[in-house]
Amino acid sequence: MLFRKQIDRRVEAYQSELLQKYCDEVELMYTKMRGWRHDYHNHIQALQASMAQGNYDEVNAYLRALNNDLTTVDTTVKTGRIMVDAILNGKMNIAAQNGIPVNAKANIPDGTPVSDVDLCVILGNLLDNAIEENKRLDGDGDARFIRVYIGQKNTQFYLSVTNAAGKKQAHHGCLFGSQKGADHGFGLARVDSVVKKYDGWFSADSEDGGFTAEILVPLAEAAEETEVTENTDESAEKQ
């Protein structure tokens, strides 16, 4: 019992630290966006001045620099939930800065019972792990990748994150060990705990060269329909 309480306290402390980290990342991203908008008119005036003087090479270089700067704050994926968009796009920007290509297709279906905070916890943990695994890979970066899919599978909310990885990791129960230190080993355990809260299913599969995490959670509407059907069947039996 005492050991369990100690574990719970460590998980709680780790999660608080993680959420603060996510908030800092989102704040940094939106600070950059506000700064870019504030400087917008200055950028236009500088470009107009260069154009008037015929310095077209200078204009092209300036535009390339602006495009690179804007890429770091652009919201490229819209899931339908603002908080989730902020976390997902923030992590994608971090991946891009580390030379990790991300292919993301995300749309949160109606009836998804998972709260914004819990979705951010799930995505944050899984994408942090995916980024760290990619950063460990040697070479020119061609082997690096992250694929994210969020959508609906039959009557369930479905989320998957697949990433490049090194050698196959050893199982510890239904989860895996961590190479990032003792506290970081709580990441997948935390995801598993959050998914169970919604009567969902979580699977993590490690193979040589890749790692895949998948989540299924019953949609609220599907759960209501099942309950109505069961109640109707019970009433018919009683009659």
C-alpha R_g of the chain: 22
Among 125, 113, 116, smallest CA distance to 80 is for: 116
Largest interatomic CA distance in the chain: 90
CA 164, CA 237: separation in Å to the nearest integer? 53
Q: How many CA atoms does the CB half-sphere of 173 hold within 13 Å?
A: 6
147-174 per-position pLDDT tens digit = 999 999 999 999 999 999 887 776 655 5
Residue 120 within a domain: yes
Residue 233 within a domain: no
Residue 32 within a domain: no
Residues of the chain with pLDDT under 50: 181-184, 223, 225-229
HEC sequence for 51-102: HHCCCHHHHHHHHHHHHHHHHCCCCCCCCCCHHHHHHHHHHHHHHHHCCCCE
Residue 92 within a domain: yes
Residue 45 within a domain: no
Q: Residue 59: what pLDDT?
A: 79
pTM of the model: 0.65
Residue 52 within a domain: no
Residue 235 within a domain: no
| Residues 57-66: contacts with CB under 8 Å, at least 24 apart | none
Number of domains in the chain: 1
Among 188, 222, 220, smallest CA distance to 203 is for: 188
Contact 212, 146 (CB under 8 A): no
Q: Residue 150: what pLDDT?
A: 96
Q: Residue 110: what pLDDT?
A: 93
| CATH number, residue 206 | 3.30.565.10
The sign of the torsion formed by the CA atoms of 110, 116, 120, 121 equals negative
Q: Which range of residues forms the domain containing residue 222?
A: 75-227
Q: Residue 46: what pLDDT?
A: 76
Unique residue bearing structure tokens 């998972």 = 114
Among 97, 49, 57, 55, smallest CA distance to 73 is for: 97
109-140 per-position pLDDT tens digit = 999 999 988 998 899 899 999 999 999 887 65
CA 69, CA 32: separation in Å to the nearest integer? 9
